[in-house]
Amino acid sequence: MEYTLHCTYIPDFALSNGVFLELKGELDAISRRKMLAVKQQNPNMDIRFVFMRASNRLRKGSKVTYAKWAEDHGFKWCEGEPPKSWFL
């Protein structure tokens, strides 16, 4: 038996220029899997992360930071406030 899961992606913010912003204080495993699935199913979607602290580690003892994870998976990111260029 085959199951198909249909989910709806609702970004934190959708900018008028087609950029989607995800604001993250914590980037947990569930969020990471969800965002990778969204990216895989929508490869042309421009999703960018705004991290509260980009230097946070994925989990205790991990060497990978939120920023490194985003870069490794092709997501643009910033820390704190998005740059004005993201809104143009």
Number of other CB atoms surrounding residue 47 within 10 Å:
19
Q: What is the dihedral sign for C-alpha 78, 82, 87, 88?
A: negative
Q: Which domain does 66 fall in, by range?
A: 13-87
| Confidence at residue 8, expressed as pLDDT on a 0 to 100 scale | 81
CATH number (domain holding residue 63): 3.40.91.30
Evaluate whether residue 3 is within a structural domain. no
pLDDT tens per residue, range 17-73: 999 999 999 999 999 999 999 999 899 999 999 999 999 999 999 999 999 999 999
pTM comes to: 0.90
